[in-house]
Amino acid sequence: MSTLLSISLVMPTFDEPERLEAALKSLSQQDYPLEATEIIVVDDASPHLNTERLDTALTPFELHLIRNEQNQGRARARNSALRVATGDIVIFLDSDMTVEPDFLRAHAERHQAHPEAIFIGNIRFSSEIPTTHLTRYIEGRGVHAADKEKPMHFKCFVTGNSSVRRSSLKRVGFFDEDLTAYGGEDLELGYRLHLAGIPFYYAPEALSYHHHLRAFEPLCRLMQTYGKQSIPILLRKHPELDNVLRLDAIGAAALSPRRLAFHLALSPLIHYPIRWLTRWFVEYYVPGLFFSYLFWYSRTRGYLQTLQTR
C-alpha cells in the first residue's frame, strides 16, 4: 500500500474577496484527508478581508493565512507560503478559481505514480464566462493540446493550477523575487526545474474553473508590461530563453531573413490591419493566429522600448 502524500496548497490573493471565498468553499469539499492537507493563503495587502468568512468557507479544513502589509507581487507572495509549507507536494492554485471535489486527490495520485515530476492541471473557464473566440483561443493553448502520457515543454508550466514536489522546489530554489511585475515568474521557475531534469506532464483530471476573464485590450497591456518589466530580467539571467520568447531574431545578422521577418512583423503595415480586424470582429470570428501575433507584438514592443531607454 502506497504512503499517503501530504499536500500544501499555496494560493496568493489580492483584493478579490468574493472569488477567494468561492475558491475556499470549493476546497472545503475536497475528498482528501484533513490530516494530510494544509491550505495556505497569502493575502498580498488587500484593503479589505473578512477572515471569519474565509475560515467558515474552508471548514472543515483549517486556513493558514499570511497577510502582507505591502503588496509584494506574486513571486514573493508564493515564496512566503513555501517557506512555511510542510507537504510532500505543493499545489499552486489561483484565488479566482474553483475546483472539483477530487482536485487534490487528482494531483496527489499523479505524484504517487511519478517519483519526481511537475503536473499542470486543466484550467477551464467557468459557466458564467461567455464563450468567445478569445476564450476558445486561451483554452486551446499550452497543455490543452498535450498528450498526458508524454512530457511537455517547460514553457507550459503555469502556477494557476499545477503541482510539484516540495523537495524539487527546495533543490532548485523558489520563485525569483526580482520578478515583481506581471508575468515571467512561472517561466523562470519552470526553466530551472527543467534544467534539473524534472519532467512536466499534463493532468487533465485536475480540473479548475477560472471565474475571471480579462478583455482583449487589457490583456495586450499586460503583455506590454511583461515585455517592459519582466523580460529584461528573464533575459539578463537566462539569455538562452530568447528563443522561447521568440526574441532570438534580435541577435541575428542585420540582413538575415529572420531579422527582416522580425522587423516586418513589428511594422505598422502588419500590426494595424490585424489589430483593427481583431477589435472589430472579435464577436464574430478571429483566427487564433491573430491573438498569438498581437500578444507577441505587445510583449515584444514593451521589451524593445526598454532596450531603447538604456
Task: Check whether residue 113 and residue 85 sit in a common domain.
Answer: yes
205-214 pLDDT, tens per residue?
999 999 999 8
231's enclosing H/E stretch is: helix 231-237
Residue 35: inside a domain: yes
| φ and ψ of 200, to 5 deg | -115, 135
Q: Are residues 87 and 19 in the same domain?
A: yes
pLDDT at 220 over 90: yes
The domain boundary, picked from 210, 229, 249, lies at: 210
Residue 33 is predicted with a pLDDT of 96
- With respect to residue 144, please indicate whether it lies within any of the assigned structural domains: yes
Coil, helix or strand at residue 183: coil
The tens digit of pLDDT for each residue in 123-158 reads 999 999 999 899 999 998 888 777 778 899 999 999
Across 131-140, 148-157, 186-195, 242-251, which has the greatest mean pLDDT?
186-195
Instruction: Look at the pTM and tell me if it is higher than 0.75.
Output: yes
First to last CA, the chain: 60
Share of the chain above pLDDT 90, in %: 78
The H or E element spanning position 225 is: helix 216-225
Residues 144 and 163 in one domain: yes
- The pLDDT score that the predictor gives to residue 197 is 97
Give the CB-side neighbour count of residue 173, counting CA atoms within 13 A.
12
Q: Is residue 1 part of a domain?
A: no
Question: Is the per-residue pLDDT at 88 higher than 70?
Answer: yes
Task: Measure Cα distances from 115 to 47, 108, 202 in Å.
Answer: 41, 11, 16
**Cis peptide leading into 60, omega within 30 of 0?**
yes
Mean pLDDT of the 10-14 span: 95
CB 107 within 8 A of CB 89: yes
Q: Is residue 133 part of a domain?
A: yes
Q: Are residues 77 and 191 in the same domain?
A: yes
220 and 197, same structural domain? no
Distance of CA 196 to the CA centre of its chain: 20
Task: Give φ, ψ of 210 to 5 degrees.
Answer: -85, 125
CATH of the domain at 88: 3.90.550.10
SS3 3: coil
Both 90 and 224 in a single domain? no
Lowest mean pLDDT, pick from 225-229, 248-252, 284-288: 248-252
Q: Which of 159-168, 197-206, 244-253, 284-293 shows the lowest mean pLDDT across its residues?
A: 244-253
Average confidence score pLDDT of the chain = 93
* 2 located within any domain: no
* pLDDT for position 1: 46
**Per-residue confidence (pLDDT) for residue 108, from 0 to 100:** 97
| Helices assigned H by DSSP within 238-283 | 257-265, 268-281
pLDDT at 310: 66
Considering the domain architecture, whether residues 181 and 56 belong to the same structural domain is answered as yes
Peptide bond before 273: cis, by omega within 30 degrees of 0?
A: no
99-109 per-residue burial string, b: 16 or more CB within 10 A, e: under 16: bbebbbbbbbb
8 A C-beta contact, residue 77 and residue 12: yes
Q: Which whole number is the average pLDDT over 36-45?
A: 94
C-alpha cell, 137: 483561443
Range 33-52 average pLDDT: 92
Tell whether 157 and 301 lie within a shared domain: no
Among the candidates 173, 191, 210, a domain finishes at 210
Question: Do 153 and 302 lie in a common domain?
Answer: no
Range of the domain at 233: 216-308
Under a CB-based contact definition with an 8 Å cutoff, are residues 12 and 44 in contact?
Answer: yes
Could you give the number of structural domains in the chain? 2
147, 93, 173, 42: CA torsion to nearest 10: 180
pLDDT in tens, 289-301: 999 999 999 999 9
Q: Are residues 159 and 300 located together in one domain of the fold?
A: no
As a whole number, mean pLDDT of residues 72-98 equals: 95
Give Cα separations from 179 to 31, 171, 188, 190, 218 (angstroms): 35, 20, 9, 14, 20
The CA angle 236-240-246, to the nearest 5 degrees, is: 100
> Could you tell me if 146 and 222 lie in one domain?
no
Q: Which amino acid is residue 118, in one-letter code?
A: I
Domain boundary among 151, 186, 210: 210
Same domain for 135 and 232, yes or no, is no
Does a structural domain hold residue 24?
yes
